[in-house]
Structure 1
């Protein structure tokens, strides 16, 4: 085997065993760079460049020539790339034939940053390098963290779904009384102004008694659609009883505006609802109370005020709305059936 063949064989062996090595000639120029080292200089031709111009030697200091570099043989070298990113490196130099040298480099504790910055993988390191084990650990950790993230997402989704189910009326898809019991105290505590509409259906019992509960369910779903269409996304629509509903009109305390909302609800609710070969028809009575965002009004008081106004509407012939006024309390309780 010729000397050239021996050199080539040695270079090939070093590329496999030390993929981050460089070979230097007798004046400190790079005559060969291992494949991984070449990979971290994608835009720079290493062969032919001066080692000390490609790398800055941090320790030992004051190394400015090949002779000084050879004097560091066997010592631990600390270097960094002169080009961005200025990755830190560790190295050790051993003299080679004809005044040259071989410098084996590694990333040391900067390995994780280097893998990220240069998109390196296990194939870029010697099979026996401890870096391989570290990369496996990093990959295992990343896989475990991703699995944990997905599990947390599923658990969070299940929690949200469970909470949503707990606060949702299954028949209409509206909020339920439990949800309202959470929302109203918060609005009162935060001094938010709102109008509260208590809606009760007229003649709903007759639909249930004559046409059956399935027909009643269809009517309730129709009413739910009317209430949603008569409100905004920021408002709250809840079914709080068999045929009772509450709307919280956020930020609106204008009596005329609330009255127009009630008129629309009453008109739309009266639209006959088809069920099998018959038509179901109900009407709605509404009581209104207002929270101005100030004063000592409690949730219980607001609900009681709206309830009293609702029964005033029932007393006045149904299919109408009434705004609560203190005078209503002077009339005493009103008992009117559905």
Structure 2
């Protein structure tokens, strides 16, 4: 029956051939893959399988009696493979049992690393595998697309909140951060920083020098503030720093002084030296219950105006009497 076995291996590669006593005389190539390390050939059917349904089939004769009936089988050993089978007796007393995974085919393919080549070309299992592969490919493509869209969305959001010249946060990001802190009613501070003599750099050395200065001072501000602080460029030469979780005014004094010292360092550009300084107005919000974003920024601006009037290159902390003084004078003029 050698030629016949070759045909069976192609038409139904997941099968067994049993002799009249129930000994396995031939094993289809896919069946052998279920137990690659066990010699199924020559073993007794009952040593390898048990019939789960119909119930009560435990002898060879009972197995012969249910030829043509769909059998639910379980392969002994590990892993326990649950299979479907149908038995057909031959004239010489032997039998062919064709096997399949049934609805468990996906588990079988996964557990035993099977491929399309392990099934007959006309087996519906092939169609199911194609569908599963197509679905998996589509899901993977969808996952990658979603990741790209998410990355693009995050990049767009980051760009919308970033100053393109300096890489700092912009006014939009500043406003959002302030609203969040005010809603949380936590202590925080706001520093409004204006570069002194920046206009002179632009007028004498050109806008390229001005842009270079802005980039240098932006980097310096990031280095002199804390990791959780937010540094934003809100105008041509105006910056605002939000400092969350401030419970001690000495922290603000130290940070402000560091920024002022860094801004006074000469900045080389194309063989020339750009010399600027920084004036700072700071408002410390210890209870934001009645505060608004506009009021906080206005208070910081009033304190900055006071620093300008003191002679620049200094930090002033806002107090309510400053507002009264400003209201009694002319509005602040443009800063140098």
Is this a same-fold pair by TM over 0.5?
Answer: yes
Partner of residue 103, structure 1: 97
Q: Structure 1: which 5+ residue stretches go unaligned?
A: 1-6
Deviation larger for 218-227 or 45-54: 45-54
Partner of residue 234, structure 1: 228
Please say if residues 172 and 220 of structure 1, whose CA atoms lie closer than 8 Å, have aligned partners that are also in contact: yes
Deviations 1:116-153 (A, max 9, x none): 11111111111111111211222222222222222222
Aligned length in residues: 332
1:273 and 2:267 aligned: yes
Please say if residues 199 and 287 of structure 1, whose CA atoms lie closer than 8 Å, have aligned partners that are also in contact: yes
Please say if residues 286 and 309 of structure 1, whose CA atoms lie closer than 8 Å, have aligned partners that are also in contact: yes
- State how far apart, in whole Å, the 2-side matches of 1:81 and 1:308 are: 84
Partner of residue 116, structure 2: 122
User: Which aligned segments of 4 or more residues in structure 1 are displaced greater than 4 angstroms?
Assistant: none
Partner of residue 156, structure 1: 150
Please list, as runs of the form range in 1=range in 2, the aligned pairs for 1:241-280 lying within 5 A after superposition. 241-280=235-274
Please say if residues 57 and 77 of structure 1, whose CA atoms lie closer than 8 Å, have aligned partners that are also in contact: yes
Please say if residues 91 and 103 of structure 1, whose CA atoms lie closer than 8 Å, have aligned partners that are also in contact: yes
Deviations 1:155-207 (A, max 9, x none): 22222221111111110011100111222111221234322111111111111
Partner of residue 197, structure 1: 191
SS at match of 2:299: helix
- State how far apart, in whole Å, the 2-side matches of 1:326 and 1:84 are: 81
Partner of residue 306, structure 2: 312
Deviations 1:247-295 (A, max 9, x none): 1122223210111001010000111111112111111011111233553
Q: 1:172 aligns with which of 143, 151, 166?
A: 166
Q: 1:335 aligns with which of 310, 332, 335?
A: 332
Please list, as runs of the form range in 1=range in 2, the aligned pairs for 1:42-53 lying within 5 A after superposition. 42-53=36-47
> TM-score of the superposition, structure 2-length normalised?
0.93
- State how far apart, in whole Å, the 2-side matches of 1:82 and 1:62 are: 17
1:146 and 2:134 aligned: no
Partner of residue 4, structure 1: none
Residue 296 of structure 1 and its aligned partner are, at CA, apart by 2.3
Q: 2:85 aligns with which of 71, 91, 105?
A: 91
SS at match of 1:199: strand
Please list, as runs of the form range in 1=range in 2, the aligned pairs for 1:315-326 lying within 5 A after superposition. 315-326=309-320
Q: 1:25 aligns with which of 19, 23, 29?
A: 19
